[in-house]
């Protein structure tokens, strides 16, 4: 049975795209055929993060315009056969047609085990897409603004019957904690109020490798944290160990 996973956040820059790329890479690593669909209209980044900037020939905008079919809009990632990307359009003014996106996700269930949607921004059309997902990954950093906005979005989604939500706390670092602008992790969980599926440390290699489009090294704490999230999505019992700098 395939699963549609929407990655969202109450605030920009929290790590939605990073999470989409790394959770998808992890699922592919564990042998699942995985598609990432980028809905950040006009602001694509996953082609760079996944290291296929020069290989992308088509994008979701061409599909939504009716110029190509969705499989043509899909680009394979890496040398394996498990990870694929549908890149965002370059047109920042293109309207999202939620019914078409939901329709294509449903169609992709026939081809993929997991469909990860990187949902940028919050609006009624993005909400319709999130509502169609089987699982919502809510990404927050532990800072006060991000936690408050994550809680608001999570409550809103809950009221709208999007109850299968899991929390990822990203960019966790000792340094910020010492500056006392961050909550403790248990406070973050209490505030946002949804079950935790992973804690990802602030990891400079995530930033560097993401910008260069190269895979994270096996020693990267960020890689280990995201692999653990992918394992938990697969239903594996992966204990939570947190190593922060
Ligand atoms: N755990 C981490 N450690 C260090 N840097 C990180 C981590 N997670 C994300 N970043 C960096 O933070 C920046 C923003 O991440 P990303 O683009 O994934 O956020 P986003 O939520 O998708 O942003 P937007 O709202 O613009 O779509 C990127 O430079 C990324 O490399
Ligand atoms: Mg993004």
Question: What is the reported pLDDT for 179?
Answer: 63
User: Does 134 have pLDDT greater than 60?
Assistant: yes
CA distances from 84 to 42, 177, 202, 239 (A): 20, 37, 26, 28
Question: Are the beta carbons of 197 and 217 closer than 8 angstroms?
Answer: no
Predicted TM-score (pTM) of the model is 0.95
Question: Which ligand does the CA of 9 lie closest to?
Answer: 1
Span 206-217, pLDDT tens digits: 999 999 999 999
Comparing 21-25, 31-35, 97-101, the range with the smallest average pLDDT is: 97-101
Give the residue with greater pLDDT, 2 vs 92. 2
Span 151-190, pLDDT tens digits: 999 999 999 999 999 999 999 987 666 665 566 788 888 8
Distance, CA 13 to ligand 1 centroid (Å)? Answer: 5
Q: What is the 3-state secondary structure (H, E, C) of 86-99?
A: ECCCCCCCCCCCHH
Domains of the chain: 3-233 (3.40.50.300)
Question: Which ligand does the CA of 49 lie closest to?
Answer: 1
Question: What is the reported pLDDT for 95?
Answer: 79
Q: Which atom of ligand 1 is nearest to the CA of 118?
A: 22
CA distances from 22 to 116, 122, 222 (A): 11, 22, 9
The owner of tokens 């992973």 is 198
Distance, CA 210 to ligand 1 centroid (Å)? Answer: 9
Question: What is the reported pLDDT for 242?
Answer: 72
Q: Which atom of ligand 1 is nearest to the CA of 139?
A: 21
Question: What is the reported pLDDT for 182?
Answer: 61
Question: Which ligand does the CA of 201 lie closest to?
Answer: 1
Taking CA atoms only, the protein residue closest to ligand 1 atom 28 is: 207
Q: Which atom of ligand 1 is nearest to the CA of 201?
A: 1
Q: Can you tell me the distance from the alpha carbon of 90 to that of 59, in angstroms, rounded to the nearest whole number?
A: 8
Question: What is the reported pLDDT for 183?
Answer: 66
Distance, CA 54 to ligand 2 centroid (Å)? Answer: 19
């Amino acid at each position: 049975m395939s699963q549609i996973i929407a990655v969202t956040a109450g605030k920009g820059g929290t790590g939605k795209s990073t999470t989409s790329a790394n959770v998808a890479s992890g699922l592919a690593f564990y042998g699942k055929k995985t598609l990432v669909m980028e809905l950040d209209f006009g602001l694509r980044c996953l082609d760079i993060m996944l290291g296929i900037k020069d290989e992308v020939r088509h994008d979701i905008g061409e599909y939504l315009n009716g110029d190509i079919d969705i499989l043509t809009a899909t680009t394979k990632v890496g040398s394996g056969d498990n990870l694929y990307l549908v890149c965002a359009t370059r047109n920042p003014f293109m309207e999202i047609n939620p019914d078409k996106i939901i329709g294509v996700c449903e169609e992709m269930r026939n081809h993929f085990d997991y469909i990860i949607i990187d949902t940028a921004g919050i609006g009624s059309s993005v909400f319709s897409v999130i509502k169609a997902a089987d699982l919502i990954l809510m990404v927050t950093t532990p800072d006060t603004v991000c936690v408050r906005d994550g809680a608001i979005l999570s409550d809103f989604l809950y009221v709208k019957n999007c109850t299968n939500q899991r929390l990822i706390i990203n960019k966790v670092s000792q340094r910020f904690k010492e500056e006392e602008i961050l909550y403790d992790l248990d406070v973050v969980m209490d505030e946002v109020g949804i079950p935790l599926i992973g804690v990802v440390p602030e990891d400079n290699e995530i930033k560097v490798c993401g910008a260069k489009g190269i895979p994270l090294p096996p020693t990267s704490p960020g890689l280990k944290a995201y692999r653990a999230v992918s394992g938990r999505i697969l239903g594996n019992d992966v204990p939570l160990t947190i190593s922060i700098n």
